[in-house]
Amino acid sequence: MAHRTSNLRAGNLEYTLTLRKGQKHINLRIGRSGELLVSAPTGTPVTRIESFLRQKAAWITRHQQRIHSVISDFHPERRVVYRGQVYEIRIHQRPGKSSFRLEKESGILSLGNDGKAPGKAIEGWLRRTAGKEIGAAAREWASAMGIHYKKLYLRNQKNRWGSSSGLGNISVNWRAVMLPVELMEYIVVHELAHQRRQDHSPIFWAEVERWVPNHAGLRRNLRQWSGLLSLFRE
């Protein structure tokens, strides 16, 4: 068996531990719902793992609180994020197809709803908008960069903003439409650049920097929005 997973508890801290053959270090990851996921080399004593968790306690708490805050603040029937701006949702009952109206100055998204679950209506609107806006960004940046891609897929990844395949396709998490535009476009450029280099070598980063000179700062900023990946999950 390549790995073994256990649910453990250390004081007030609950975590899922996976022991993997061939892994060299202890790694931490916060899941989309704020759960703590730990992986370590097979044979690592639990005492060593929990000592490592105590050293990282501040990091763990900070990232879990950020995700829990996002889940609490952006309940799909109360608030939504679009292009980095927070909108209060106002629901109006109306027959027929759902309608949406953004009032940017007042920060309100008006939803004319036909009785279906508001969260599903909002998710559908975001997905449709993502198809238009991320699709347009991909076409524009591909033209500017001189890169051809076969197809853009809007994905529902749990922990990633995007990916790029050696078959000529790029994928972007549809939730990128909730990010500030410059971050959404950075994701697009990043994945397009992978069509030239399927790695993170200096050559790859030089290609990204050619088009997005401030990419390092954008990557740091993108981490602050990671909680959005936990939204609209069943």
Distances (CA, A) of 200 to 10, 206, 218, 225: 36, 10, 16, 22
pLDDT value of position 80: 87
Residue 177 burial by Cβ neighbours in a 10 Å radius (0-12, 13-18, 19+): buried
pLDDT value of position 1: 37
Average pLDDT, rounded, for the chain: 87
pLDDT value of position 7: 67
3-state secondary structure of 45: coil
- Whether residue 15 contacts residue 8, with contact meaning beta carbons closer than 8 Å, is answered with yes
User: Which superfamily, per CATH, for 79-230?
Assistant: Metalloproteases ("zincins"), catalytic domain (3.30.2010.10)
Instruction: Give domain limits for the chain.
Output: 3-73, 79-230
pLDDT in tens, the chain (234 residues): 345 556 667 667 788 889 888 888 999 988 767 788 899 999 899 889 988 988 888 888 887 877 777 666 666 677 888 999 889 888 877 666 778 888 888 889 888 876 667 888 889 999 999 999 999 999 999 999 999 999 999 999 888 999 999 899 999 999 999 999 999 999 999 999 999 999 999 999 999 999 999 999 999 999 888 888 888 876
Reference 90, options 105, 101, 82, 74; nearest CA is 101
pLDDT value of position 72: 66
- Residue 12 neighbours by CB distance under 10 Å: 5
Give the start-end residues of each E strand in the chain.
3-10, 13-20, 27-30, 36-41, 79-82, 85-93, 99-103, 108-113, 151-155, 162-164, 169-173
Q: Within 13 Å and on the Cβ side, how many CA atoms surround 8? A: 16
pLDDT value of position 126: 94
pLDDT value of position 121: 86
pLDDT value of position 89: 85
For 146-213, give the DSSP string: T---SEEEEE--SS-SEEE-TTSEEEEEGGGGGS-HHHHHHHHHHHHHTTT-SS--HHHHHHHHHH-T
